[in-house]
């Protein structure tokens, strides 16, 4: 059994997901000040992870996590050295999210499961603890691997129904942190327009399409540009209270933490007002 059973990460109930490939220290400090527990950095960050140290140095309690480092573009030995550097300076505040990316985007993408297992073997050899890493996982096979070889899973673009299935697959002792998109508007047409722009890319990626089909969506739902039913399932919108109610469905289904991705712009000027509006209904306690 993984040591994650006794060292389950504690990132608080809510975090913020960003696609920057990095985060500026000032933005990290502002996210922390609103009471969010973590910032998840997507976009396949580079193996050196040079942006982590300055952001952690300017914050006190915020955790940083990669969502995710791509095994095809970030060599395991370099990632391991980056992890050790960060952990030495800021113990317990960095979580390494790892994933195989997308077959359609990677020329050398062959036998992804075996490649992921090999990558984890390399991290083991370099003494990166299972308790400080999570896997991008959607299907049963990788969810099981996440439970066996890491602290848990960080599923992307899923639903509370998937969260319940993932918790059942992995058991209760490991960490589960789904991502969920939000649009702060009560205009359903506008929310679906923004949400569909974000979702449409993934309708051409087999791992997401197959996951949605397993969840009961139809071929029509997952055909570009995506049905209203699909968009409504993976993008929460409405009042702050309605959005929070949707996000909390993940926690009720077994999630430990929800990574919130605000759609409509990631500049501080567009991002922070939405995060601030959500903070109260989420029950967050500002740190300043």
| Domain ranges within the chain, ordered by starting residue | 3-181+240-282
CA–CA separation, 142 and 185 (whole Å) = 35
Q: Are 39 and 13 in contact (CB under 8 A)?
A: no
Question: CA-to-CA distance for 52 and 130, rounded, in angstroms?
Answer: 19
At residue 7, the pLDDT reads: 67
Predicted structure pTM score = 0.95
Distance CA 287, CA 94 (A): 19
What CATH class has 3-181+240-282?
Answer: alpha beta
| Tens place of pLDDT per residue across the chain (288 aa) | 344 344 689 999 999 999 999 999 999 999 999 999 999 999 999 999 999 999 999 999 999 999 999 999 999 999 999 999 999 999 999 999 999 975 544 555 468 999 999 999 999 999 999 999 999 999 999 999 999 999 999 999 999 999 999 999 999 999 999 999 999 999 999 999 999 999 999 999 999 999 999 999 999 999 999 999 999 999 999 999 999 999 999 999 999 999 999 999 888 999 999 999 999 999 999 986
25-33 and 268-282 are packed helices; what angle lies between their axes, rounded to 10 degrees? 20
- pLDDT of amino acid 3: 42
């Amino acid at each position: 059994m993984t040591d994650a059973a006794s060292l389950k990460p504690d990132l608080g109930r809510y975090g913020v997901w960003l696609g920057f490939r990095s985060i500026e220290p000032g933005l990290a400090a502002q996210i922390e000040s609103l009471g969010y527990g973590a910032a998840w950095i997507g976009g396949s960050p580079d193996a050196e992870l040079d942006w982590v140290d300055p952001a952690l140095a300017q914050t006190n309690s915020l955790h940083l996590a990669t969502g995710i480092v791509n095994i095809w573009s970030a060599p395991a030995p370099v990632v391991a050295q980056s992890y050790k550097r960060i952990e030495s300076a800021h113990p317990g505040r960095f979580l390494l999210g790892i994933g195989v990316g997308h077959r359609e985007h990677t020329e050398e993408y062959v036998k992804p499961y075996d490649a992921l297992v090999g990558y984890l073997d390399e991290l083991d050899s370099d003494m990166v603890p299972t308790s400080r890493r999570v896997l991008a996982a959607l299907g049963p096979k990788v969810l099981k691997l996440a439970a066996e070889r890491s602290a848990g899973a960080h599923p992307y673009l899923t639903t509370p129904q998937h969260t319940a299935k993932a918790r059942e697959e992995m058991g209760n002792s490991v960490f589960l942190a789904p991502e969920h998109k939000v649009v702060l508007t009560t205009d359903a047409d506008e929310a679906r327009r923004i949400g569909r722009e974000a979702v449409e890319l993934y309708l051409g990626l087999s791992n997401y399409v197959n996951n949605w089909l397993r969840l009961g969506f139809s071929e029509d739902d997952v055909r570009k540009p995506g049905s209203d039913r699909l968009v409504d399932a993976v993008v929460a919108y409405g009042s702050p209270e309605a959005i929070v109610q949707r996000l909390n469905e993940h926690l009720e289904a077994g999630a430990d933490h929800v990574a919130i991705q605000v759609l409509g712009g990631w500049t501080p000027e567009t991002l922070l007002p939405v995060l601030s509006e959500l903070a109260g209904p989420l029950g967050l306690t500002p740190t300043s």
